[in-house]
Amino acid sequence: QLVESGGGLVQPGGSLRLSCAISGRTFSNGAVGWFRQAPGKEREFVAALRWSGTTTRYADSVRGRFTISRDRAKNTMTLQMNSLKPEDTAVYYCAASSQGLIWSSLAESTYYDYWGQGTQVTVSS
């Protein structure tokens, strides 16, 4: 089970920190990631990392502003979002894959078999 928290309303330029609590199993050989879906748009990749290593991948639109991390001891992952823009407004989903994903697959939602319920992030003045 994956449960997100930390969403909310923030002004442009502000920051938010999303968390994802993972329970029921571990993904020591897999990957975890964040995706988002804005109204009227398809779900898109935000960031991902391999649970056992240091490999991370970011969408071009968030690179340099967002940071994905995980705490193995607590079985959680976070998404630190800085310099938020109105176009970052979306429902954010955490996801986990039990597979060892190659670089190109980290950004593909079809390879993730566990999903959270989503948390709303609204960036507006």
DSSP string covering 63-111, please?
A: BTTEEEEEETTTTEEEEEE-S--GGG-EEEEEEEESS---GGGTT-GGG
Please give the single-letter amino acid code of residue 103: W
pLDDT, position 4:
94
* Rg of the Cα atoms in the chain: 13
> For the chain, what percentages of helix, strand and coil (3-state, to nearest 5) are there?
5, 45, 45
CB contact at 8 A, 116 and 2 = yes
Tens digit of each residue's pLDDT, the chain (125 residues): 999 999 999 999 999 999 999 988 888 889 999 999 999 999 999 999 998 878 999 999 999 999 999 998 899 999 999 999 999 999 999 999 998 888 889 999 999 999 999 999 999 99
pLDDT, position 104:
87
